[in-house]
Amino acid sequence: MKRLVILGGGESGVGTALLGKDRGYDVFVSDKGIIKEKYKKVLLHNEIEFEEGQHTETKILNADLIMKSPGIPEKVALVKQVRANGIKVVSEIEFASKYTEATLIAITGSNGKTTTASLTHHLLKQELDVGLAGNIGDSFAKQILEKDFPNYVLEVSSFQLDDIIDFKPKIAILLNITPDHLDRYDCVFENYIASKFRIIDNQTKEDYFIYDADDVVIESWLKQHSIQSTLLPFSLTKQIENGAYLDKDNIKITIDNNQIIMPTANLALEGKHNIKNAMAASTVAHLLRIRKQTIRESLENFQGVEHRLEHVLKINKVQYINDSKATNVNATYYALESMDAQTVWIVGGEDKGNDYNELFQFVNEKVKAIICLGVDNEKLMNSFGNMVDVIVETQFMSEAVKIAYKIADAGENVLLSPACASFDLFENYEDRGRQFKDAVRNL
């Protein structure tokens, strides 16, 4: 019996454990932290051996195969030891994809993954039997075990792509590449870029690669590398023969002379970046022969993703917007770009080596006050201190919202778009977003 060791007892780890056990592996789960109660119950119920609070090397280094949670970096001593011993290491998407014949649609990018994956799933599920997995919802492995869908939309991160070997999506989407998570890539942008492009490593000309033709990083990489996949670019600025582009106020998508035209005015999601997300999702739907009318209607009624430019409430004609999912500068760039009125901006958290220069134009134009919400706000104060009349610091969400309430006038916005990770004051970006929404409702 082959031994499968799983490092990390979270959603992807426990899902892999269940699928591994079902497929005849001797499974062991090891988590250096504490495993959440709900996952512990599943492991106990299924009689899967596990440990928490430590990694026992003798129980790990005898593995035939290791599934490493995406959160564990390569530089951890145990991972180095595993590699030195020549044990094969895979990510959950690699492991799970071996056990399904489904059509895989994999979506990656520095920003917009969750929105585009959710939107693609929303477009396809009207006419196809389709699962949504990866960084979102129930794990891919668990879904294959419980109900193997004929199609999957997968939101995949660079960390998951780092540990693939044969993973091969029928349709791969690369939304954009901006510096993010560079701490995991030795602070070398090229390493991160290469990681994102692993999504097409195993594709052939029978497979499709949908990407942003306006993204200079993507374009320059494509010029330097030969690619097997059939290319379907999308663009807001160029006319595209095969793929999607913006023609005045219409999205036009052409695949093998079959064209669909959709007015952008009817899109449920606002902002230029969401036109791109809609192009990517609709290209997939068009490829998989979803009816044009269904695509149009689905784009109009899509609800959007929690914590991503989520309109919370209007109080005294001030709109409160939760964009807690904006954990990097580029995401906040899109948020500020889409503001149509003067804005009180709540920003800050754990800085990932941010360069705020690209936000200056919007701050000058649209931001009337800045509330810094972080343990260390020095960089924000230095970057934006001279641009706005009011810039204040706090370490409490409830206080940040109260200050914003006092500053904002009728017709204006209060925007939480942190541009930073949340771990200095919050559990995660969801916790940060929920605290913001609670504080707004308590006004």
Q: Are both 280 and 323 inside the same structural domain?
A: no
Query: Taking 90 as the threshold, does the pLDDT of residue 133 lie above it?
Result: yes
Beta bridge partners of 102: none
Residue 238: pLDDT over 70: yes
Is there a single domain that holds both residue 293 and residue 384?
no
Contacts (Cβ under 8 Å, ≥6 apart) of 429 = 307, 324, 325, 327, 418, 421, 422
Looking at the structure of the chain, the number of domains it has is 3
How sure is the predictor about 180, in pLDDT bands with cuts at 50, 70 and 90? low
Identify the pLDDT of residue 182: 67
The pLDDT score that the predictor gives to residue 313 is 94
> In this structure, what are the phi and psi dihedrals at residue 210, rounded to the nearest 5 degrees?
-105, 125
Find the angle CA(55)-CA(60)-CA(64) to the nearest 5 degrees: 155
Note the pLDDT tens digit of each residue in 386-395.
999 999 999 9
| Section 213-232 average pLDDT | 94
Which 3 state secondary structure label does DSSP give 196? helix
Calculate mean pLDDT across residues 133-158.
94
What phi-psi label fits residue 257: left (phi over 0), alpha (psi between -120 and 50 degrees) or beta?
left
- Given a cut of 80, is residue 242 above it in pLDDT? yes
Q: In this predicted structure, what is the pLDDT of residue 353?
A: 79
What's the pTM value of the predicted model, to 2 decimals?
Answer: 0.84
Domain boundary among 44, 61, 90: 90
Residues 418 and 431 both lie in one domain = yes
- Compute the average pLDDT of residues 253-264: 92
- Tell me, yes or no, whether 77 and 183 share the same domain: no
Q: Which of these, 205, 437, 152, lies nearest to 322 by C-alpha position?
A: 437
Indicate the residue among 52, 72, 90 that finishes a domain.
90
pLDDT digits (tens, 9 = 90+) for 347-378: 999 887 788 999 999 999 999 999 999 998 99
Looking at the fold, whether 279 and 205 belong to one and the same domain comes out as yes
Contacts of 416 (CB under 8 A, 6+ apart): 321, 322, 323, 324, 346, 400, 432, 433, 436
Within this chain, do residues 259 and 231 fall inside the same structural domain, yes or no? yes
The whole-number pLDDT of residue 271 equals 82
| Domain that residue 250 falls in | 94-301
pLDDT at residue 188 tops 80? no
What is the rounded CA–CA span in Å between residue 193 and residue 178?
9
Unique residue bearing structure tokens 């308590």: 442
Report in angstroms the alpha-carbon separations of 431 from 35, 69, 82, 330, 340: 18, 21, 34, 21, 27
Mean pLDDT to the nearest integer, 117-129: 96
Is residue 192's pLDDT more than 90? Answer: no
Element (DSSP H or E) covering residue 336: helix 329-337
Please answer whether residues 22 and 15 qualify as being in contact, where contact means their C-beta atoms are separated by less than 8 angstroms. no
- For residue 143, the domain's CATH number is 3.40.1190.10
Whichever domain contains 356, its CATH number is 3.90.190.20
Same-domain status, 7 and 64: yes
Q: What is the CATH classification number for the domain harbouring 41?
A: 3.40.50.720
244 pLDDT above the threshold of 90: yes
Q: How confident is the model at residue 181 (pLDDT cuts 50, 70, 90)?
A: low
208-212, 265-269, 397-401: range with lowest mean pLDDT: 265-269
pLDDT at 118: 94
Q: Where are the alpha helices (DSSP H) in 68-182?
A: 77-84, 92-97, 113-124, 140-146, 158-162
- Which of residues 305 and 346 earns the better pLDDT score? 346
